[in-house]
Structure 1
């Protein structure tokens, strides 16, 4: 159970600008070295190590060692969900007058990006809408379910394995930062994103969470989900 002290500890860890920059950089689901994160946060490697230790202590990041290198990643989807929520609040707070646009200014980020391990932006919302309209997914409030029709369809497409195990929800709605509508997270959201990357339907844009939809992706997303508006 979360105590007020624990809440304050997590909030303080997120509330430092360099640490916030590091957490945002890890939102694309990849693991980065301390040197890479130091560059993102514009701090020295020594300072970055101190920040990363703080984030690890409060359970916001996990560290994996591979050979001589140590890689840092978000501790789990619940951390990504928290960071995305903070981004929504930070981007929507008016200063002198209400902003005319919410979410990122970068058009590429608005069109398609990763939200931890699933697709977001107009592309992610479009897929969620299409699956909902076809009856593959049912969404009610903060809950979502992959229907029998939807599961069979995802298996036929090679997106989802016949058996899905683990404590993580198979399907969960996630409020999109830029669209302010729902895209899909959970096992299904991660599987769709992984499938798109493996098939080169999307490719990562260097130095950002933005994704480029390829010509193959325009065909793939249309055939698999009926999403026609995805464009690179």
Structure 2
């Protein structure tokens, strides 16, 4: 693990920890926002201290740089699958009570919404795509290995964010369904728990990827020129 990997993991860990604490307070809705901000700061700090790959021997071949040539397929597909599954879960099952202690102290609690979670995911997706586009089209990155590495790190960071929100929300829904006295269906709770377990495994994998220096996955070592 290098210094850049530690920065990314530290940002992710701080965001997850602070976000969990916020879910137990009236600031519940800010948890995904804090998670995303801390992870973004960790990724930016990691890029700031990253060692750039050595220069490559390049041949003069003209080709337009396209985002799909750099963006890794696996984290994109996994992120979309998690988001679609989460949308189905939140649409099918009733929204659980707030996980904080507000109702215990005041006898009432503000209604629960997942608006900030969806807004955070959408904003993170847009910012990630814009950043990837800038990296791919910019001449500031010395070579193709550097571009592939940066794009891979961004894609894995977004997948880790998505997996964290998916896992925490699905565990929350599973816990609610296991409460049969409160109207839940234990069988659904077990199914949701298994689904959350898959999300946790995905989270562990992509959190681990934040530690690893990402290298180019392509074989193209030619000089690529982006058209305006």
TM-score calculated relative to the size of structure 1: 0.23
Q: Name the larger-Rg structure.
A: 2
| Structure with greater strand share of residues | 1
TM-score, normalised relative to structure 2: 0.24
Q: Which has the higher helix share?
A: 2
Q: Which has the higher contact order (CA 8 A, sep 6+)?
A: 2
